């Protein structure tokens, strides 16, 4: 089968289009005929080997894993003998490790059925970014109906899911983004939008029960000032991408929490 591979770190020029062996699913795995795969920041970081400390996991001199692609949608081609939820022909989407290829395999638990009214392209754009938003708000932030929620970085890949997920919990949502994205963030459900080029939410009078931070533009002290007593701050990204890449890697390899949460002592 054809696959995108890379054997050294660098710009997109390091990517190669190669013939490699078609994989077979393990006992608990599903083999997917890939119909769409999206490019996640995770792929960018692993292709570049950046930030440098990432190479402790990915390979010091060259990548240990030579394939990319964590978000996938496609049709089930074959299943391992312990797989019970899927059968050949099913349309699925989810998280995997080597989606930039004709076929990809992943564990049964990393996939769900694709709704019929969603295209493969749409489905492939959801997995890691949306899971990050869901884990950050629900699992780490323990979001509750009626809370005031601030999404810092609301216009991005994770932030746009976060705004919509927070609204689905019936909360009052404030999104922070730049001028060009104000209308878009409002259109996906934010009750209020703060344009960070005009206003600093950390200097405002509004208090929040939950801050979901994807850009880490402020100190913990600044967040504390605008958190309600017992409020929670969940951080899933950072300017240097340091925390973000750690959490991304964690999510994909361990399939566990994406984010760090912090509740200031009062
Ligand atoms: N995507 C994933 O699946 C994933 C998973 C785990 C962790 N992460 C991490 O989470 C972070 C966000 O990822 P992403 O994919 O959502 O990135 P993204 O698509 O690049 O979005 C980042 C957003 O941050 C906004 N932004 C920039 N400066 C800002 C500021 N000073 N205040 C508020 N917002 C600002 C930008 O909005 P404007 O364009 O309006 O300036 C941009 O839309 C990254 O650190 C990433 O590594 C991402």
| Statement: residue 250 has pLDDT above 50 | no
103-156 pLDDT, tens digit each:
999 999 999 999 999 999 999 999 999 999 999 999 999 999 999 999 999 999
Model confidence band, residue 248 (pLDDT cutoffs 50, 70, 90):
very low
179 CA from centroid of ligand 1 (Å): 15
Mean pLDDT computed over every residue of the chain: 91
Query: CA 155, CA 173: separation in Å to the nearest integer?
Result: 13
For the segment 61-73, the average pLDDT, to the nearest whole number, is 97
| Statement: residue 254 has pLDDT above 60 | no
Q: Which atom of ligand 1 is closest in space to residue 241's alpha carbon?
A: 45
Model confidence band, residue 257 (pLDDT cutoffs 50, 70, 90):
very low
Burial class (CB in 10 A: 0-12, 13-18, 19+), 211: buried
pLDDT of residue 17: 97
The DSSP H or E segment spanning 264 is none
| Statement: residue 247 has pLDDT above 80 | no
Query: CA 69, CA 44: separation in Å to the nearest integer?
Result: 10
> Which protein residue has the closest C-alpha to ligand 1 atom 42?
156
156 CA from centroid of ligand 1 (Å): 5
pLDDT of residue 144: 97
pLDDT of residue 264: 57
pLDDT > 90 fraction of the chain, expressed in percent and rounded: 82
- Which structure tokens are listed for 10? 């660098």
Query: CA 46, CA 59: separation in Å to the nearest integer?
Result: 10
CB 105 within 8 A of CB 30: yes
- Domains belonging to the chain, first-starting first, are 2-125 (3.90.180.10), 128-262 (3.40.50.720)
pLDDT of residue 220: 85
Model confidence band, residue 219 (pLDDT cutoffs 50, 70, 90):
confident
132 CA from centroid of ligand 1 (Å): 12
Mutate which of 164, 204, 215, 246 for ligand 1 pocket (most atoms within 8 A of beta carbon): 215
76-110 pLDDT, tens digit each:
999 999 999 999 999 999 999 999 999 999 999 99
pTM, two decimal places? 0.89
173-212 pLDDT, tens digit each:
999 999 999 999 999 999 999 999 999 999 999 999 999 9
């Amino acid at each position: 089968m054809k696959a995108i591979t890379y054997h050294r770190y660098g710009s997109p020029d390091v990517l190669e289009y190669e013939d490699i062996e078609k994989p077979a699913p393990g006992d608990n795995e599903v083999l997917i005929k890939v119909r769409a795969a999206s490019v996640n920041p995770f792929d960018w970081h692993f292709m570049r080997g950046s930030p440098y400390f990432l190479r402790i996991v990915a390979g010091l001199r060259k990548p240990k894993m030579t394939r990319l692609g964590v978000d996938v949608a496609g049709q089930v081609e074959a299943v391992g003998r312990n797989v019970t939820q899927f059968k050949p022909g099913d349309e699925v989407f989810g998280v995997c490790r080597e989606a930039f290829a004709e076929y990809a395999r992943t564990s049964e638990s990393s996939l769900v059925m694709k709704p019929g009214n969603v295209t493969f392209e749409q489905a492939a754009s959801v997995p890691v970014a949306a899971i990050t938003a869901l884990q950050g708000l629900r699992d780490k932030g323990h979001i509750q109906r009626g809370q005031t929620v601030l999404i810092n970085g609301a216009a991005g890949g994770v932030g746009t899911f976060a705004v919509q997920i927070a609204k689905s919990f019936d909360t009052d949502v404030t999104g922070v983004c730049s001028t060009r994205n104000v209308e878009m963030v409002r259109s996906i459900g934010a009750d209020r939008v703060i344009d960070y080029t005009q206003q600093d939410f950390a200097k405002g009078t509004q208090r929040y029960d939950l801050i979901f931070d994807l850009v880490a533009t402020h100190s913990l002290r600044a967040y504390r000032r605008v958190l309600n007593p017992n409020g929670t701050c969940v951080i899933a990204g950072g300017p240097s991408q340091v925390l973000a890449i750690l959490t991304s890697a964690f999510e994909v390899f361990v399939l566990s929490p994406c984010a760090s949460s912090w509740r200031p002592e009062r």
